[in-house]
């Protein structure tokens, strides 16, 4: 028993009014896993009591009625003795097995699948779960959002902070990473792209199954697939990294060529980012330009999705999504309130990449931006933006400015050392973790700096301490 459990047990023993629950019993009695991962912004995202090791997703998608059916098989380790546990799953569930045995299940609400195995699962043991489901994901709404993207010709299952539960049974919180096999069955004339590497295409009479494997741990929201009429380009970058570029055939010939040209900037952008961030963290790369009308790109691990950008060679967006491969994917947020760690750094390196081909210095950019925005821009505390404002403009822009200000404050050498140390050996991180590491790396006291940039409703004063002079 560790220290905190011992304290908890003695608290239970001295204050518990329920007969029979004492410290000795609390140690061995199986109890329900929590229905959430403890994220203040999204209490129902993720679950407690276990850690997923691997997902094996088998889905079949239809294009006419938008129906999706399938099964998720996952392997997990119990982090407590479990009488039951939850998974996040929006679709209708038809069967559940745990370790090969039929398990009881019920939906406590549309989002939460509660599973009661035939026998409890001991703390520290691995167990297998199989969930079968079916439904029409585009109809399903949760937390005021209907994140499914698709029409009769193309589907892109991607979203942030939520989408996983619309197509697989998940522990949908970035704090629980796992490896993935993603198998999607589609009509013969369609193609499927997903994360990682294409393992195999299994041909059927009228349908083919595309099996992709993501062998590096990944947060559930970064798992994705696109299914549609795609043109594919596969190869290896000059440094030997396998890539897959996919472009929707919903775009015309000229638009497709522009889109491939955008995707082809990937190796150059990666080389640029590697100078700052160290080796690219994954074993493949690429991207998908969708023909769907989407306003955002998303940093799906190894393979971002981009909207068609209207012919502008907007490789700044490529720099943004590829920065996320380090800030967001390799090191994921601990909780969603840590979003600055994703969007601030992605905006900063997007700016740095663009400046590479421009004239102004990053510090001039910072001072110009600092002088430019009205008071209302500075109101949002980007270190605590709230669930509703997670992706508001200041999270990106003030966020990117904060990174340049930090760089100016501690100097390039310490800044680079900080980036390398942050990215070296960590699956998740919080803003507090980052501040502690920044202070350790620079040997400076940075509380005031981070308060001004992340936790204040005012424009940071133009001082040396704030990296502005
Ligand atoms: N993280 C994305 C980016 O900055 C933006 C984003 C937020 C998004 N929510 C989304 C993209 C939902 C697609 C769907 O690049
Ligand atoms: Zn981003």
Q: Which residue lies with its CA nearest to atom 3 of ligand 1?
A: 298
Ligand 1, atom nearest to 161 Cα:
9
Ligand 1, atom nearest to 396 Cα:
4
pLDDT confidence of residue 314: 81
Indicate if the pLDDT at residue 15 is higher than 70: no
Tokens of 51: 């850690």
DSSP string for residues in 300-366: -TTS-EEE--TT---HHHHHHHHHHHHBTTTBEESSGGGTHHHHHHHHHHHHHHHHTTSSS-HHHHH
pLDDT digits (tens, 9 = 90+) for 143-177: 899 999 999 999 999 999 999 999 999 999 999 99
- CA atoms of 413 and 47, how far apart (whole Å): 40
Shared-domain flag, residues 70 and 139: yes
> Taking a C-beta distance cutoff of 8 angstroms, is the pair 113, 165 a contact?
no
| β-pair type (50-61, 68-78) | antiparallel
Shared-domain flag, residues 168 and 206: yes
Indicate whether 392 belongs to any domain: yes
Shared-domain flag, residues 370 and 227: no
What separation in Å is there between the alpha carbon of 297 and the centre of ligand 1? 6
- CA atoms of 366 and 371, how far apart (whole Å): 9
Shared-domain flag, residues 190 and 172: yes
Shared-domain flag, residues 38 and 138: yes
Shared-domain flag, residues 279 and 391: no
What separation in Å is there between the alpha carbon of 117 and the centre of ligand 1? 36
Shared-domain flag, residues 302 and 418: no
| β-pair type (155-157, 101-102) | unpaired
> Taking a C-beta distance cutoff of 8 angstroms, is the pair 455, 366 a contact?
no
- Helix, strand or coil for residue 123? coil
Name all contacts of 386-395 with Cβ < 8 Å and 24+ positions apart. 386/41, 387/41, 387/42, 387/336, 390/41, 390/161, 390/336, 390/339, 391/160, 391/339, 391/343, 395/339, 395/340, 395/343, 395/344
From 297, 325, 353, the end of a domain falls on: 325
pLDDT confidence of residue 358: 63
Residue of 155, 150, 157 lying closest to 172 (CA atoms): 157
Indicate whether 366 belongs to any domain: yes
- CA atoms of 163 and 193, how far apart (whole Å): 17
Average pLDDT score over the chain:
93
Indicate whether 467 belongs to any domain: no
Least confident among 6-15, 264-273, 285-294, 346-355: 6-15
What separation in Å is there between the alpha carbon of 333 and the centre of ligand 1? 14
Total count of domains within the chain? 3
Residue 379 is part of a domain; what is its CATH number?
Answer: 1.10.390.10
Shared-domain flag, residues 103 and 201: yes
From 294, 325, 356, the end of a domain falls on: 325
Q: Which residue lies with its CA nearest to atom 9 of ligand 1?
A: 160
Tell which one of 149, 159, 220 to mutate to probe ligand 1, the residue whose CB is within 8 A of the most ligand atoms.
159
- CA atoms of 61 and 124, how far apart (whole Å): 36
Tell which one of 142, 157, 160 to mutate to probe ligand 1, the residue whose CB is within 8 A of the most ligand atoms.
160
Distance of CA 192 to the CA centre of its chain: 20
Residue 244 is part of a domain; what is its CATH number?
Answer: 2.60.40.1730
Q: In degrees to the nearest 10, what's the CA dihedral of 396, 398, 404, 406? A: -120
The CA-to-CA distance between both ends of the chain, in Å, stands at 52
pLDDT digits (tens, 9 = 90+) for 241-274: 999 999 999 999 999 999 999 999 999 999 999 9
pLDDT confidence of residue 360: 82
Shared-domain flag, residues 313 and 369: no
pLDDT confidence of residue 17: 40
Indicate whether 246 belongs to any domain: yes
- CA atoms of 327 and 340, how far apart (whole Å): 10
Shared-domain flag, residues 193 and 267: yes
From 325, 346, 378, the end of a domain falls on: 325
Indicate whether 227 belongs to any domain: yes
Domain extent for 106: 32-325
Shared-domain flag, residues 37 and 130: yes
Indicate whether 463 belongs to any domain: no
pTM: 0.93
Indicate whether 469 belongs to any domain: no
Indicate whether 464 belongs to any domain: no
Shared-domain flag, residues 271 and 319: yes
Indicate if the pLDDT at residue 359 is higher than 90: no
Rounded average pLDDT over 443-450 = 98
447-454 and 431-442 helices, crossing angle to 10°:
140
pLDDT digits (tens, 9 = 90+) for 35-63: 999 999 999 999 999 999 999 999 999 99
Rounded average pLDDT over 433-443 = 98
Counting ligands in written order, the one closest to the CA of 304 is 1
């Amino acid at each position: 028993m560790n220290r905190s459990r011992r304290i908890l047990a003695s608290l239970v023993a001295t204050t518990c009014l329920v007969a029979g629950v004492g410290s000795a019993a609390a140690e061995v009695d199986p109890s329900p896993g929590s229905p959430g991962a403890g994220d203040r912004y999204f209490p129902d995202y993720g679950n407690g009591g276990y850690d997923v090791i691997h997902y094996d997703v088998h889905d079949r998608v239809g294009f006419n009625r938008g129906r999706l059916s399938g099964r998720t098989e996952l392997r997990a380790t119990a982090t407590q003795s479990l009488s039951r546990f939850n998974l996040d799953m929006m679709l209708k569930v038809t069967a559940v097995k745990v370790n090969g045995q039929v398990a009881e299940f019920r939906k406590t609400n549309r989002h939460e699948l509660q599973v009661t195995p035939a026998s409890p699962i001991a703390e520290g043991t691995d167990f297998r779960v199989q969930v079968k489901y079916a439904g029409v994901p585009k109809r399903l709404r949760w937390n005021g959002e209907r994140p499914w993207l698709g029409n009769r010709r193309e589907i892109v299952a991607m979203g942030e902070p939520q989408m996983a539960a619309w197509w697989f049974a998940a522990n949908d919180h970035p704090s629980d990473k796992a490896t993935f096999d993603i198998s999607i069955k589609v009509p013969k004339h369609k193609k499927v792209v997903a994360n990682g590497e294409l393992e195999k295409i299994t041909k059927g009479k009228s349908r083919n199954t595309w099996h992709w494997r993501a062998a590096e741990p990944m947060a559930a929201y970064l798992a994705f697939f696109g299914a549609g009429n795609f043109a594919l380009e596969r190869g290896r970058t000059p440094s030997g990294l396998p890539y897959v570029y996919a472009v929707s055939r919903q775009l015309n010939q000229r638009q497709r060529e522009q889109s491939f040209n955008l995707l082809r900037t990937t190796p150059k952008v990666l080389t640029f980012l590697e100078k700052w961030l160290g080796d690219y963290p994954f074993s493949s790369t690429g991207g998908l330009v969708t023909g769907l009308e989407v306003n955002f790109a998303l940093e799906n691990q190894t393979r971002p999705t981009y909207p068609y950008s209207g012919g502008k060679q907007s490789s700044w967006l490529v720099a943004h999504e590829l920065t996320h491969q380090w800030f967001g994917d390799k090191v994921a947020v601990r909780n969603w309130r840590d979003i600055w760690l994703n969007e601030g750094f992605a905006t900063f390196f997007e700016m740095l990449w663009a400046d590479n081909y421009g004239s102004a210095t990053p510090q001039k950019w910072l001072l110009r931006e600092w002088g430019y925005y009205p008071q209302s821009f500075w109101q949002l505390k980007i270190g605590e933006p709230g669930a509703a404002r997670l992706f508001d403009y200041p999270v990106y822009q003030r966020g990117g400015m904060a990174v340049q200000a930090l760089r100016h404050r501690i100097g390039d050498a310490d800044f680079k050392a900080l980036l390398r140390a942050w990215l070296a050996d960590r699956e998740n991180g919080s803003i507090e973790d980052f501040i502690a590491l920044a202070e350790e790396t620079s040997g400076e006291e940075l509380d005031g700096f981070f308060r001004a940039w992340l936790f204040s409703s005012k424009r940071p004063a133009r001082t040396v301490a704030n990296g502005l002079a």
